[in-house]
Amino acid sequence: MSYLLNSNDILQTIQMIDQQHLDVRTITMGLSLLDCADPDLSVCCRRIYDKICKRAARLVETGTQIEKEFGIPIVNRRISVTPIALAAAACKTDTYVPIAQALDRAAAEVGVNFIGGFSALVQKGSARSDEILMRSVPEALAVTERVCASINVGSTKAGINMDAVAESGRIVKKTAELTADRDGLGCSKLVIFCNAVEDNPFMAGAFHGPGEPECVINVGVSGPGVIHHALEECIGQRFDVVAETIKRTAFKVTRMGQLVAQEASRRLDVPFGIVDLSLAPTPAVGDSVARILEAMGLECCGTHGTTAALALLNDAVKKGGVMASSHVGGLSGAFIPVSEDEGMIAAAESGCLTLEKLEAMTCVCSVGLDMIAVPGDTSAETISAIIADEAAIGMINNKTTACRLIPAPGKTVGDTVHIGGLFGDAPVMAVNPASSEAFIRRGGRIPAPIHSLRN
């Protein structure tokens, strides 16, 4: 139409936003809390609260301004902080629950829905503060609303800390028990990682890594609906066309994220960190990663071919997005959280999508076994063993993997766990009934893998 713009392009953007759920999923401010350390726990809490309230005071308002001016929905504004096991290590205390409460109050004060970083990095071993943090996780998640916790139990460089894996299984169980009245809601705010990244803007696994600057803006884009719509235009075409279509679409989505990130960074006077090019589904119809896989020709997500479809999708999203942003980071790829994805829920309910298939899918997707409800009577050792399997996939393949499992108290296969909101509903999936107890009881470390002789 004009010397500047093509009306078809404009209509396409408007349709993406209006009909295909295109949005910026989160603007996340990463904030270092290392200078809040104090031997006195209450002083440390006060410093943390004050710093967050001061630095993030304009975060929500700025997001809203950008949303209005550009006409792009920005779903969440969030904060990630230095892992509390580091920030609070100097405190003379045996619990970090008061710090979680300070984080929760600060998040409420500045108006963000989640704050991530109640975390410990224990891939090689636990310091005293890591142990305190891990012990504090179940109660912290039960008594706070907005705090998210994570534990990194392994890495490609360090191997897997099997003591931490064993402990993590018990933490997940305890967290579910303490939030039993809400179907184990606490577990949806707890991620057990291998190869955790320091600049992830997505919850529940976000924290502000020790290698990060003082304060930074990271943006997570989304857009499963947009990719799905684009693929509907190439039914029956060869995979070359499918990959190209995803790349082109991912490019456009990421450019929008980059624009929002730069604007937010400029207005808040905080450096821009990264854009995370993730396809993050929501429970809304038309915003599903599973439906993209099905649009490639699978009758139901979870059937044979699903892993290959996901591998293509994950890779094409990255290839399309990388050129669209000056700095790409975070988890970048396709998320496959079961409860947060309408198509995954349907596939799991129909029995086509099983835990074993999901594990295979995590070898090629961006993260791992995410938002999966398992029977409430699943033992801590079995949960630890699932975590160990997932960590092994991450360690060997040099990628981030994670577990966010919900052993919903009182629920069993066939039941549905109602977590609500963005977390959605999860059908309880069967776990293997054979015991892994003696395996988990061993403890120690699984050594880091060799990096030659790769077969």
Partner 1 sequence: MKAIVSVFARDRKGIIAYVTGLLAEKDINVLDISQTLMQEYFAMIMLVDLKDCPLSFDELSQYLAERGEELGLSIHIQRQDIFDAMHRV
Enumerate residues 6+ apart whose C-beta is below 8 A from 304: none
According to the binding rule CB under 8 A, does residue 233 interact with partner 1?
no
Q: What's the rounded Cα separation, in Å, for the pair 228 and 249?
A: 10
Residue-by-residue DSSP string for 121-158 = E-SS---HHHHHHHHHHHHHHHH-SSEEEEEEEEETTT
Closest CB to partner 1 among 258 and 278?
258
Q: CB 125: neighbour CB atoms within 10 A?
A: 11
Query: 221 φ, ψ to 5°?
Result: -95, 175
Which position among 48, 72, 217, 419 is part of the footprint of partner 1 (CB under 8 A)? Answer: 72
Structure tokens at 166: 């064993």
What is residue 435's DSSP assignment?
Answer: -
According to the binding rule CB under 8 A, does residue 10 interact with partner 1?
yes
According to the binding rule CB under 8 A, does residue 2 interact with partner 1?
yes
Closest CB to partner 1 among 129 and 278?
278
Closest CB to partner 1 among 57 and 70?
70
Which position among 60, 75, 259, 406 is part of the footprint of partner 1 (CB under 8 A)? Answer: 259
Range list of β-strands (E), 266-310: 272-276, 278-279
Closest CB to partner 1 among 14 and 413?
14
Closest CB to partner 1 among 12 and 95?
12
Residues 274/199, Cβ–Cβ less than 8 Å: yes
Closest CB to partner 1 among 255 and 418?
255
Q: What's the rounded Cα separation, in Å, for the pair 310 and 70?
A: 32
End-to-end CA distance of the chain: 54
According to the binding rule CB under 8 A, does residue 6 interact with partner 1?
yes
Closest CB to partner 1 among 69 and 181?
69
Specify the pairing of strand 445-446 against strand 333-334: unpaired
Q: What's the rounded Cα separation, in Å, for the pair 364 and 350?
A: 23
* Residue listed under structure tokens 């077969």: 455
Which position among 32, 35, 71, 237 is part of the footprint of partner 1 (CB under 8 A)? Answer: 71
Which position among 44, 203, 256, 290 is part of the footprint of partner 1 (CB under 8 A)? Answer: 256
Q: What's the rounded Cα separation, in Å, for the pair 52 and 123?
A: 28
Minimum gap (Å) between residue 69 Cβ and partner 1: 5
Closest CB to partner 1 among 276 and 342?
276
Which position among 21, 208, 252, 411 is part of the footprint of partner 1 (CB under 8 A)? Answer: 252
According to the binding rule CB under 8 A, does residue 9 interact with partner 1?
yes
Q: What's the rounded Cα separation, in Å, for the pair 16 and 125?
A: 47
Which position among 28, 155, 179, 258 is part of the footprint of partner 1 (CB under 8 A)? Answer: 258
Minimum gap (Å) between residue 228 Cβ and partner 1: 18
Cis peptide upstream of residue 204 (ω within 30 degrees of 0): yes
Which position among 255, 319, 418, 445 is part of the footprint of partner 1 (CB under 8 A)? Answer: 255
Query: 5 φ, ψ to 5°?
Result: -140, 155
Which position among 19, 34, 68, 444 is part of the footprint of partner 1 (CB under 8 A)? Answer: 68
- Give SS3 for 193: strand
| Site map (CB under 8 A) of partner 1, residues 349-378, x = contact | ------------------------------
Segment near partner 1 (CB under 8 A); pick from 35-43, 105-113, 131-139, 251-259: 251-259
Residue numbers 20-59 binding partner 1 by CB under 8 A: none
Closest CB to partner 1 among 105 and 255?
255
- Helical spans, DSSP H, in 179-305: 224-232, 239-268, 289-295
**Residues at the interface with partner 1 (CB under 8 A):** 1-7, 9-14, 68-72, 252, 255-256, 258-259
